[in-house]
Amino acid sequence: MTNPDRITGPATSSTSGDLPVLFSARPEALSFLYRYIFSFTPVLLVMLCIGLRGVLDSMFLAASPLVPTLSPVPAPASDVSSAAMAQYLGMMNSSTAGYGELAAITILLVVPVGIFLLAAVIGSELRQTQVWTGSALALVLSSGAAYVLAGSPSFSMAYLLLLLQWIAFLVQPFGIAASGIVLFGTEIFRRSVRYVITPDAVVIRGGIFRKVEQTLPHHRISMVSFEHDLIGSRFNYGTVIPQSSTSRDGAVSSDTGAGYAGSAGASRDPLASLFGIPDPKAAQRIIESRMNRPARDD
């Protein structure tokens, strides 16, 4: 049975008729395992927010003697927030029922709005695409829908509370939807990535909204690194890192903003190395066998 992620084998012909393809592959699905897991960040955040709600309730109850405006008070049945609670009581906002407007708004600004914003910022800083896109998407979708459902906007506390209540309710289903969207996008991205080794160069192609293509001639490669984890060693996949001799620290950059591995972070970028490919030792041997050869004249 052939490996679906091993597109062609060594020493086969290029379909374009230009140069023979010595090796061609895409990243193995298992090599994207942690990215698939990170795609479920919005669902995990919803569960975290539900757990934190009890902690916040206890904190507000403890602080109520010092800050009377934060004390839980029974809300009249005609109150806008109370009526909204009765209509769409959700796990995320159920405990704010009976609190004063200030206390309820503060709780809902922290959980879930603050938690999802924090996750998006941390994911962006760590360059974990699945983390920040999933968190931001869930919050944007729930906020947009809440704005529509909350009715005519106003600057009143009652409207702000109603808007936050809708967000707290809607972020739960939209968190699941955002996870599914990010998971699907991650798989589409994996399938878009192609690694091709020809007699002259290593070519990396991929991307969804922005297509990236990088070419590193063999005569410019000074060293080839290889790494794999325990799962990769078991299922014979790993990352091959061709390092250029033309730039400092073994990195080569391009107008796409990506570069070949010169650091630990870049070495694991699917668009900057041969990431998670099947039979990586074969690809490493092919590159090493050709890297010291002089460039061919066209």
Q: Among 172, 190, 208, where does a domain finish? A: 190
- Any domain includes 9: no
Do the beta carbons of residue 270 and residue 206 sit within 8 Å?
yes
Residues 6+ apart with CB under 8 A from 27: 5, 190, 193, 270, 275, 276, 277
Q: Are residues 208 and 130 in the same domain?
A: no
Q: What angle do CA 145, 150, 151 make, to 5 degrees?
A: 115
Please determine, for residue 112, whether its predicted confidence score (pLDDT) is greater than 60. Answer: yes
Which residue, among 208, 278, 204, has the nearest Cα to 244 in the 3D structure?
A: 204
Write out pLDDT tens, residues 48-104.
Answer: 998 887 787 777 667 666 555 555 544 443 344 444 444 444 445 554 545 577 878
Residues 104, 125: one domain? yes
At 182, is the pLDDT very low, low, confident or very high (cuts 50, 70, 90)? very high
- In 3D space, the residue among 16, 31, 95 whose CA is nearest the CA of residue 235 turns out to be 31
Give me the pLDDT at residue 158, please: 87
Per the DSSP assignment, residues forming a β-bridge with 99 are 72
- How does DSSP assign 124-179, residue by residue? HHTT-HHHHHHHHHHHHHHHHHHHHHT-S--SSHHHHHHHHHHHHHHHHHHHHHHH
Same domain (yes/no): 211, 280:
yes
Of the candidates 19, 100, 242, the one whose C-alpha atom is nearest the C-alpha of residue 8 is 19
Residue 58: predicted pLDDT: 74
Strand partners, 217: 201
Co-location of 173 and 243 in the same domain: no
Question: Could you report the per-residue pLDDT of 114-134, keeping only the tens digit for each?
Answer: 999 999 999 999 999 999 999
The candidate with the shortest Cα–Cα distance to 232, out of 56, 34, 20, 9, is 34
Question: Tokens for 277?
Answer: 């490919």
Residues forming a β-bridge with 206: 212
169-184 core/surface letters (b: 16 or more CB in 10 A; e: else): bbbbebbeebbebbbe
Q: Is residue 184 within 8 Å of 176, Cβ to Cβ?
A: no
Residues 141 and 203 in one domain: no
Most confident of the ranges 23-37, 233-247, 261-275: 23-37
Q: How many domains does the chain have?
A: 2
Are 157 and 248 within one domain? no
Do 277 and 170 fall within a single domain? no
**Chain segment 196-237, per-residue pLDDT in tens:** 999 999 999 999 999 999 999 998 998 999 898 889 999 999
Q: Which residues of 233-251 are buried (b: 16+ CB within 10 A; e: fewer)?
A: eeeebbbbbbbbeeeeebb
Tell me the residue range of the domain where 247 lies: 23-27+193-290
